[in-house]
Amino acid sequence: MRIINFIIILYISLGSVFANEAESIMNEANQLYQNEQYEEAIVKYNSILESEFESVALYYNLGNSYYRSAQIGFAILNYERGLKLDPSNEDLQYNLAIVKARAVDKIKEVPKLFIVEWWELLISSLPTTMWQIIVLLFYLLLLGSITLYFVTNSGITQRLTIFSSLVGLTGAIFFAIILFAHVQRERATDFGVLTTYTISAKQSPNESSDDLFVIHEGLKFAVQEEFGEWYKIKLSDGKVGWLPKKSLELI
């Protein structure tokens, strides 16, 4: 038992040390950004990510630094990574829209059915943790209502607990379905951003293959398949091709 307690205390202490160190580096990077030393700030911000620390603020600041240093692809990449942690963040959404307006490619998406578009918007509106919390709250409401039903002698209270049990059961099932769909969507589809200025997508995963279409820095696409040093990508308009891994970054 003492060994377990020691390990827990050590883990918490190390986490606190790393968090303080990350905060210190973050402050240094922010100061460099304020001094318009964007390249130096980028190095500092990335050093935090290399320590496996991430946050919405970190991706936001890193995206701003890349934007100021005219690296549109990496700016979009980091705004997208921030939105993956917090899909509703208005600052990230606003800056992403500004940077995308400067990107060369303006590709129209293939029209989707309204119900499909609504469903995708719903399941991507919150991060996984929030959906888990919502499911847990409805599940606790269900358990609490069932427990109260059996311990109370009041008819009115029992009728209310029946209603709240139905609400808890319905909510738990509905949001569990959303959580499952959200997790499956995250696992099934990777997205990438082109960080090379311009490149031709290939028909097959080799340099001698025929060119299919040209895309430019900052374009976001779905990554469908991996083969050696190549990724098979799909654009929002349905076009499919192969790109070398070194030309892009996964979100």
Q: Which pTM does this prediction carry?
A: 0.69
Provide the b/e sequence for 116-125 (b: ≥16 CB within 10 Å). eeeeeeebee
Provide the pLDDT confidence category of residue 110 given band limits of 50, 70 and 90. low
How far from 219 is each of 80, 101, 247, CA to CA, in Å?
11, 11, 11
Return phi, psi of residue 232, to 5°. -90, 125
Distance, in Å, from the CA atom of 91 to the CA atom of 72, rounded to the nearest integer, reads 17
Do 233 and 240 contact (CB within 8 A), yes or no? yes
Rounded average pLDDT over 135-152 = 93
Greater confidence (9 vs 201) lies with 201
Under 8 Å CB-to-CB from 134, ≥6 apart: which residues? 126, 171, 175, 179
Distance, in Å, from the CA atom of 125 to the CA atom of 112, rounded to the nearest integer, reads 18
Same fold, 2-102 and 190-250: no
Provide the pLDDT confidence category of residue 109 given band limits of 50, 70 and 90. low
What pLDDT digit, counting tens, does each position of 157-176 carry? 889 999 999 999 999 999 99
Residue 127 is encoded by which pair of tokens?
């991060």
What pLDDT digit, counting tens, does each position of 177-232 carry? 999 998 887 776 689 999 999 999 999 999 999 999 999 999 999 999 999 999 99
Q: The domain at 2-102 falls in which architecture?
A: Alpha Horseshoe (1.25)
Greater confidence (106 vs 1) lies with 106
pLDDT score at 46: 95
Residue 152 is encoded by which pair of tokens?
């109370």
Rounded average pLDDT over 97-108 = 88
Going from N- to C-terminal start, the domains of the chain cover 2-102, 114-188, 190-250
CATH number (3.30.70.1150, 2.30.30.40, 2.120.10.30, 2.40.50.140) of 190-250 reads 2.30.30.40
